[in-house]
């Protein structure tokens, strides 16, 4: 079959590799002059920065793309497991290292916060159990195919729903099971992994800590962009052709069936089209004459991000690859975001790739990716927010680290919701498509296909199973299986 793919984000690259490996003729159309979408890189004044996602979990999903394409992943893509996942800091000077191994993590929490280690281990055991019951089933299969629901494992899982905390918020589960305010705040942070609010998101999302402290957090050799680069090269080896700086203007439809697409005014005919573009813009821009699933498209957006990329003229030996500096009032921070505003005391995330890739910064310097969570773009005065937040972030980090951070910034680049939308066509700059702030969020996401238009499929963070590298890769796997089972 001839298959056209719209967008070379990580899901688009992965589905290109999978489908090309099956012998299909695959062409990918990308607006930018580089692959990866959010998962890209850039260099500035002697520093290299990963532009987007900075945390790498579930590496087996990357490996699977290689293995399912008939290649050994290790020959093209290597990574190492982090001994310390993250270093957490609070305003009162408290800090702790989140060791990857659960017993070590629990011991650290007991030492720093005086919370019995067994309480933490019990919580992580529950997290693992929830994932094994629900995650592997509902994340790795289409929720919109009858065959999924007729599976015996799914039927068994449905009987365990009452124990999955789906009707409690993440915060309520953490207060019940962990208790200590600092520990609750630490685990509430996991809601931000899919752009959600821990005070609204369902407790089933407490499966997320298992990704880090059960399976592990990792660092890819060469940085996060090596995930994109390795899969892009795989897709090319399998025969996929990439057209960069070639945006798609419209998807061609005849009698409710997709027949191709238009790019730069030229018609390209395909048997199947897969969109890795945000599902909102896929409909609004590329299918202007078709009926749109408005209820789906108008759902609440996930959070976005404000990122400062800083080249720092110093080394900070006590900092890790991943570092969190918490706000004093976490609830207030999320309430502000819900109102479309940004707190003056934000939680700050600092990622320092030069800890593991020394060439990312000049000798004696570090490359910092400094991020705060912000709401999706709804017309806020982002120039004012950027300036105000920059001052607040520098003040916060300077106090915590005991140095004037402003004086150490050698170079700077900034990414905000407006530029995220402009560069990646993510509606309102939302990082994860729709939010997961309701019990039914997983079921309300757009499916990986549509019954209204034959031969059209969807991958990426705006559709099932959700945003983030692991789920985007799973969306590609799901669509690969759907196309393979389809009779044309």
Q: Could you report the per-residue pLDDT of 121-130, keeping only the tens digit for each?
A: 999 999 999 8
Is residue 411 scored above 90 in pLDDT?
yes
pLDDT-derived band at 399, boundaries 50, 70, 90: very high
pLDDT for 66-122, tens place per residue? 999 999 999 999 999 999 999 999 999 999 999 999 999 999 999 999 999 999 999
**What per-residue confidence (pLDDT) applies to 217?**
97
Global confidence as pTM: 0.94
Coil vs helix vs strand at 363: coil
Cα–Cα nearest to 360, from 311, 415, 308 = 311
**What per-residue confidence (pLDDT) applies to 441?**
61
CA distance 84 to 213: 10
pLDDT for 29-70, tens place per residue? 999 999 999 999 999 999 999 999 999 999 999 999 999 999
CA distance 263 to 29: 8
Tell me how many degrees the CA angle 227-228-232 measures, rounded to the nearest 5.
Answer: 120
More confident residue, 131 or 258: 258
Coil vs helix vs strand at 97: strand
Return the number of other C-beta atoms located less than 10 Å from residue 179's C-beta: 12
Buried b (16+ CB within 10 A) or exposed e, 383-410: eebbeebbebbbebbeebbeeebeebbb
Beta-bridge partner residues of 96 = 88
Question: Residue 442: which residues within 8 A CB-CB, separation 6 or more?
Answer: 138, 143, 436, 464, 465, 466
CA distance 97 to 105: 8
Q: Which fold does the domain 2-40+222-298+434-485 belong to in CATH?
A: FAD/NAD(P)-binding domain (3.50.50)
326-330 long-range Cβ contacts below 8 angstroms, 24+ apart: 326/88, 326/89, 326/90, 326/91, 326/185, 326/186, 327/91, 328/91, 330/185, 330/188, 330/198
State the helix-helix crossing angle for 117-130 and 102-113, rounded to 10 degrees. 140
pLDDT above 90 coverage of the chain, percent: 87
Beta strands in 328-471 (DSSP E): 348-352, 366-374, 409-415, 456-458
> 364 with 376: CB under 8 angstroms?
no
Strands 366-374 and 348-352: antiparallel
**Residue range 278-293: mean pLDDT, rounded:** 96
For tokens 């305003």, the residue is 91
Is residue 400 scored above 60 in pLDDT?
yes
As to burial, measured by CB atoms within 10 angstroms (0-12 exposed, 13-18 middle, 19+ buried), residue 236 is middle
For tokens 């999302």, the residue is 205
CA distance 35 to 15: 13
Query: What ranges do the domains of the chain cover?
Result: 2-40+222-298+434-485, 119-214, 303-375+378-415
As given in the structure block, the two tokens for residue 13 are 């690259």
As given in the structure block, the two tokens for residue 180 are 């200590």
Radius of gyration from C-alpha coordinates of the chain: 22
DSSP code at position 36: B
Is residue 315 scored above 70 in pLDDT?
yes
As to burial, measured by CB atoms within 10 angstroms (0-12 exposed, 13-18 middle, 19+ buried), residue 122 is middle
**What per-residue confidence (pLDDT) applies to 308?**
98
Is residue 142 scored above 80 in pLDDT?
no
Cα–Cα nearest to 139, from 484, 457, 429, 441 = 441
pLDDT-derived band at 146, boundaries 50, 70, 90: low
């Amino acid at each position: 079959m001839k298959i056209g793919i719209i967008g070379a984000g990580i899901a688009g690259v992965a589905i290109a590799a999978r489908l090309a490996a099956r012998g299909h003729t695959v062409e990918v159309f990308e607006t930018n002059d580089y692959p990866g979408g959010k998962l890209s890189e850039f260099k500035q004044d002697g520093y290299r920065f990963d532009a987007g996602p900075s945390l790498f979990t579930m590496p087996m999903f990357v490996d699977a793309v290689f293995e399912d394409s008939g290649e050994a992943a290790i020959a093209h893509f290597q990574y190492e497991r982090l001994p310390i996942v993250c270093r957490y800091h609070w305003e009162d000077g408290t800090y702790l290292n989140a060791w990857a191994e659960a017993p070590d993590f629990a011991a650290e929490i007991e030492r720093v916060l005086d919370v019995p280690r067994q309480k933490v281990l019990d919580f992580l055991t529950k997290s693992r159990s929830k994932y094994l019951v629900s995650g592997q089933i509902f994340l790795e299969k289409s929720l919109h195919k009858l065959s999924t629901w007729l599976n015996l494992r799914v039927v068994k899982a449905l009987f365990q729903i009452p124990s999955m905390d789906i009707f409690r918020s993440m915060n309520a589960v953490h207060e019940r099971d962990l208790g200590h305010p600092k520990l609750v705040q630490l685990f509430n942070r996991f809601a931000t992994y899919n752009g959600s609010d821990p005070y609204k998101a369902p407790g089933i999302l407490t499966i997320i800590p298992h990704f880090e402290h059960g399976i592990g957090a990792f660092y890819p050799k060469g940085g996060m962009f090596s995930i994109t680069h390795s899969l892009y090269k795989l897709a090319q080896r399998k025969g996929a052709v990439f057209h960069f700086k070639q945006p798609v203007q419209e998807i061609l439809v005849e009698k409710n069936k997709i027949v191709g697409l238009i790019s730069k005014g030229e018609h390209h005919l395909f048997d199947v089209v897969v969109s890795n573009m945000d599902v909102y813009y896929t409909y609004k821009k590329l299918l202007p004459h078709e009926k749109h699933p408005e209820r789906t498209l108008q759902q609440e957006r996930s959070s976005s991000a404000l990122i400062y990329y800083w080249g720092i003229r110093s080394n900070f030996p006590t900092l890790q690859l991943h570092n969190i500096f918490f706000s004093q009032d976490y609830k207030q921070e999320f309430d502000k975001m819900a109102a479309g505003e940004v707190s003056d005391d934000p939680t700050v995330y600092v990622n320092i790739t030069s800890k593991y890739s020394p060439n990312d910064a000049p000798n004696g310097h570090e490359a910092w990716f400094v991020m705060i969570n912000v709401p999706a773009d709804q017309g806020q005065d982002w120039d004012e927010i950027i300036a105000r937040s920059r001052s607040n972030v520098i003040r916060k980090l300077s106090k915590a680290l005991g140095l004037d951070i402003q004086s150490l910034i050698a170079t700077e680049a900034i990414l905000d919701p407006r530029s995220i939308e402009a560069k990646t066509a993510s509606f309102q700059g939302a990082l994860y498509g729709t939010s997961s702030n309701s019990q039914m969020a997983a079921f309300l996401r757009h499916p990986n296909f549509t019954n209204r238009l034959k031969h059209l499929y969807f991958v990426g963070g705006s559709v099932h199973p959700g945003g983030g590298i692991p789920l985007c890769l799973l969306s590609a796997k799901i669509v690969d299986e759907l196309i393979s089972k389809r009779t044309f």
